[in-house]
A and B are shown apart, each in its own frame.
Chain A
Amino acid sequence: MKTRYRASFVAVVTLVVAGPVLGLAASAFASTNTYTRTPYQTGRANAGTPNSTNVVKNSSGTVVSYGNSAITYTAPSPSLATLGQSLFLENCASCHGTAANGVPANGTSGAFPNLVGLGPATIDFWIESGRMPAADPRAVQANRRVPRLSHSQALAIAAWVNSLSPSYPDIPSPNLASANVSDGAALFALNCAACHTIEGDGDALAAGTFAPSLRNIPAYQVVEAIRTGPGNMPRFTGNLSDFQVADIVKYVTTEIQHPQNPGGFGLGGLGPVAEGFVGLLLGVGLLALVGFWVGERQ
């Protein structure tokens, strides 16, 4: 009895001590930036949080940026927070509450998410994709629109919300120069096509929700979406490294947004419906007209 107790105690202590050591060793290993291009690599390293040695801190010890040669995550400057707070009170507080905690002023109806602790990339994505301030707070899913606020205003609001309870991921900026489209294509088929379709056109999901088209999304917002998982989209962290995310983003911003269309006019994505119409109306229809011209009409 006693010995067994002791054995499990030793095991727990070993784990508690060895865990962080192993973890540190792993992150140090990962930070060497030698990316082995196996598409299905998993691991907690490089998942959008500052766990590498590339972390840059300012004099007061706060993280300014981190990342690697594929994606650099930069924190919005804390000096913007005051401006951010006034912008937030002006544009967001009516719904998300003056403390950004999802509790609006008395009398406002609706359920609004708590924004505290979401991380700058989330705040930035929802503002810069035009989803926020919301057009219709009762809609099941906020639509992408022309952004109401500028890039620097979005950063300011992100800075303020982040100052309430610092969190990650920071604002990403991908470097696609050495990303691999082919791995990106394979990863896209594996992780994204089930919702966004293999051609990236998006489609309806459950009642009132849909996976949007990816044909017109800037690269850094694709990273933000992958790393933060907006709405019903899953959040991809440990199972995709920054290098793999960069591969996906390169595939999305090149082949999906500018598909190579050898063979004539692309009939708008996944074709069979469009192809059927063209085949029946243009093909059979026109040929029937020619038949009408050749044949007898009485």
Chain B
Amino acid sequence: MSQIINTKRGRREQSGPYGKLGHALNELDDRMGVAKGGRTFLDKIFPDHWSFMLGEIALYSFVVLLATGIFLTLYYVPSQDLTTYTGSYLPLYGQKVTEAFASTVNLSFAVRAGLLMRQMHHWSCDIFIGAIVVHMGRVFFTGAFRKPRETNWVIGTTLLILAIVNGFLGYSLPDDLVSGTGIRIAYSIILSIPVVGSYVAFFLFGGNFPGTSILPRFFILHVLIIPLIILSLVGAHMVLLVRQKHTQFPGKGKTENNVVGTPMYPVFMAKTTGFMFVVAGATALLGAFAQINPIWQFGPYTASRISYAVQPDWYMGFLDGALRIFPAWSFHSFGYTIPLEVTIPAVIFPGILFNLVMAWPTIERKFTKDNEMHNLLDRPSNRPKRTSAGVAVAVLCSMLFIASSTDVIANFFHLSLNTVLWSMRILCIVMPVLAYPVTYKICREMQGFAGAGKRKTANIVTRTAEGEYVATPAPAYVDDLVHEHELEAVPVPTYVVDVDDEVSSGEGGVRRVPR
């Protein structure tokens, strides 16, 4: 017989073991059956190796982008109509500028926290794409893209391309001298596409460059269409991830058929939520203390003005570099001109590159004839050919990135611009070709290294009769020895044999569940 006591404790006891929240959830479950899915989600196991956090940097920077971007849309005016700037920044006072430019300067100087938001938005864009690239590297070099995860690899590559495109569009919106030059280059690149180029360019720009409709169009693409596509693709990426479960590095207790890690609730949720705030906080710090894109110093864009040393944001750098160093070849015949010096580096090269990236899982399977499911990751050194190919492409892109600052290098080191140009042409060919064998060699070397990527063995220190100390490493574990043929799938290490495929939980909230 329970007596109702009107105290806090009494009320709490009365509402059952899960309190009001539990009650509400129960009601929800009665109607929609959320318990089953919710339980599965909360129990989902995350193998939280640190390199899996890289993708999360990208995810959370996207959240920051959305939040800050929504703020910016409140003040930005997507119009190329001319107006007279009469704001507080004197060096622009009275100049004829576009509404877009004026509103971005006003957003920076006249809106409370406006500059902070603009800078956070731009920094998080740089971080977003940087994190995507690093995350992609992790997936590539550990072989996480193999069956069954090829779809997610393709979605990821699409996300990278969309992020780059949206970054370029956003960079163009303020309509300053530097970004206007970028739009002009984009226009010329579109023009250089054989046959359809001029039609496509006129269609996109609503006429000849610069026109007055490109910024409103960029705006809609930048704030609505592409973010929506990105958002849905990110959703698909995550759904596939949960459905297929994470990969994991081989290790004690880990097999192809289980997942070892911490459950979503409470451990991983705490970690990842904390991480989101760290990402947002780091972006806010950069936004507060490091200036980015001071458009008021660049002034408004006018087709008659140009500044030297104009460069795009870093993620466009490799394309700019390719454009800079490509030799001046062009085709003139039959009354047509094809500017190959633009078409090849700016249209054909990125086309080939991104198609190659998309097709990589298929290409690799063609070579390895490996049709197995893979849930355990590779160590990069155990896959020397793949690793070397990846490093070669990364080196090529880095060289092209460096080539996007030929003028800055020439000026800084007091070199001739021509010398720098030719050196970059040569380096862009030589370095990737060199990178492949060098990486290959290093991988093979690391495989032979007792202890590289393996469990550590003890050093045995002995004292000789003369009193000298000699340290000899104990021999490597048998199952850590090299697998000679890289195309052979690595068998599960024997020190994992005692694994029972049952659910078990260990220290620190780590659980092991079957897939």
- The CA of A260 and the CA of B294, in the complex, are separated in Å by 10
- The CA of A280 and the CA of B288, in the complex, are separated in Å by 17
- The CA of A280 and the CA of B133, in the complex, are separated in Å by 10
Q: CB-CB contacts of A284-297 with B at 8 A, as 1s and 0s?
A: 10111011111111
The interface residues of chain B lying within 8 Å CB-to-CB of A255 are 91, 297
B90–A181 contact, CB under 8 A?
yes
In chain B, what residue has the closest Cβ to A180?
B94
B411–A198 contact, CB under 8 A?
no
Shortest beta-carbon distance from A42 to chain B in Å: 14
A204–B407 contact, CB under 8 A?
yes
Across the interface, A181 reaches (CB within 8 A) one of B49, B91, B130, B311, namely B91
- The CA of A284 and the CA of B299, in the complex, are separated in Å by 30
B91–A184 contact, CB under 8 A?
yes
B131–A284 contact, CB under 8 A?
yes
The interface residues of chain A lying within 8 Å CB-to-CB of B275 are 290-291, 294
Across the interface, A263 reaches (CB within 8 A) one of B131, B279, B294, B417, namely B294
B56–A291 contact, CB under 8 A?
yes
B417–A190 contact, CB under 8 A?
no
In chain A, what residue has the closest Cβ to B298?
A198
B90–A296 contact, CB under 8 A?
no
Number of interface residues of B (CB under 8 A): 78
Q: A190-B305, A266-B291, A270-B178 are in contact. Are A280 and B130 (CB under 8 A)?
A: yes
Across the interface, A287 reaches (CB within 8 A) one of B119, B131, B251, namely B131
In chain A, what residue has the closest Cβ to B305?
A189
Stretch in B23-31, B142-150, B312-320, B491-499 touching the partner: B312-320
Q: Does A199 contact B (CB under 8 A)?
A: yes
Shortest beta-carbon distance from A261 to chain B in Å: 6
Q: CB-CB contacts of B284-315 with A at 8 A, as 1s and 0s?
A: 00111111111011110010111111111110
B309–A296 contact, CB under 8 A?
no
Across the interface, A264 reaches (CB within 8 A) one of B89, B289, B302, namely B289
Stretch in A80-88, A94-102, A170-178, A206-214 touching the partner: A206-214
Number of interface residues of A (CB under 8 A): 62
B308–A195 contact, CB under 8 A?
yes
Stretch in A48-56, A215-223, A236-244, A271-279 touching the partner: A271-279
B417–A204 contact, CB under 8 A?
yes
Q: CB-CB contacts of B415-427 with A at 8 A, as 1s and 0s?
A: 1111110000000
B297–A296 contact, CB under 8 A?
no
Max chain A C-beta neighbours (<10 A), residue from B119, B416, B419: B416
Q: CB-CB contacts of A162-198 with B at 8 A, as 1s and 0s?
A: 0000000000000000000111111001100111111
- The CA of A265 and the CA of B49, in the complex, are separated in Å by 35
Q: A263-B108, A288-B54, A292-B50 are in contact. Are A270 and B310 (CB under 8 A)?
A: yes
A203–B290 contact, CB under 8 A?
no
Across the interface, B290 reaches (CB within 8 A) one of A264, A291, A293, A298, namely A264
A186–B95 contact, CB under 8 A?
yes
A296–B291 contact, CB under 8 A?
no
In chain B, what residue has the closest Cβ to A266?
B291
- The CA of A57 and the CA of B56, in the complex, are separated in Å by 77
Across the interface, B49 reaches (CB within 8 A) one of A184, A259, A296, namely A296
Q: Does B92 contact A (CB under 8 A)?
A: yes
14 contacts between A and B (CB under 8 A): A182-B93, A189-B307, A204-B411, A206-B418, A254-B91, A260-B296, A262-B291, A265-B289, A276-B126, A276-B314, A283-B283, A291-B56, A292-B53, A298-B249
Additional 7 contacts, C-beta under 8 A, given A198-B299, A284-B134, A294-B48:
A181-B90, A182-B91, A203-B408, A261-B291, A279-B127, A284-B130, A287-B131
B residues contacting A by CB (< 8 A) are 47-54, 56-57, 89-95, 108-109, 115-116, 119, 123, 126-127, 130-131, 134, 177-178, 249, 251, 261, 271, 274-275, 278-279, 282-283, 286-294, 296-299, 302, 304-314, 317, 405, 407-408, 410-411, 414-420
Q: Which 10 A-B pairs have the closest CB atoms?
A: A276-B314, A291-B53, A295-B50, A279-B126, A198-B307, A204-B410, A207-B416, A283-B127, A284-B130, A204-B411
